[in-house]
Amino acid sequence: MKPLISILAAFIFCSAVFPQQDDELAKSIERGKMVYSENCITCHMGGGEGIPATFPPLAKADYFDKNPENAIKAVKFGLIGKIKVNGVDYDNMMPNPGLGNDEIADLVNYIMNSWGNTSEKKMVTEKMVEDLKEKK
């Protein structure tokens, strides 16, 4: 009987603690979807597919898989110069959209959890964005 009570207690504890991050991530993704619609959809399109040879895709983008910080840096500081996404070179400019750290975190959470991308439920926080410094 004791093992059953222990298992039940662990289950209740886990269901009380872990869904909170899932709820926070879900809320962040929803806010990020709005930020995306207002700032990114023109170039990267509604499904994150981008525009071939002009604007890189965000959907299933290996550019983020290799280093998720790339997404934060691109949004926070803008992007100039050549990058390779899914084996294709892009050499264009993405201006800094002038978003707050909270909006950047929400946007990156949306991008990293949409269109076949998966962050494995790792949530980008406002603090993570704030701590990221531009390399000169």
pLDDT tens for 103-133 read 999 999 999 999 998 887 789 999 999 998 8
| pLDDT of 15 higher than 70 | no
Helices assigned H by DSSP within 40-93: 41-44, 62-66, 69-77
pLDDT at residue 49, as a whole number: 97
| Average model confidence (pLDDT) across the chain | 87
Instruction: Say if residue 78's pLDDT is above 90.
Output: yes
The class that CATH gives domain 27-131 is mainly alpha
Per DSSP, the chain holds a count of helices (H) and strands (E) of 6, 2
Asked if the model's pLDDT at residue 61 lies above 90, the reply is yes
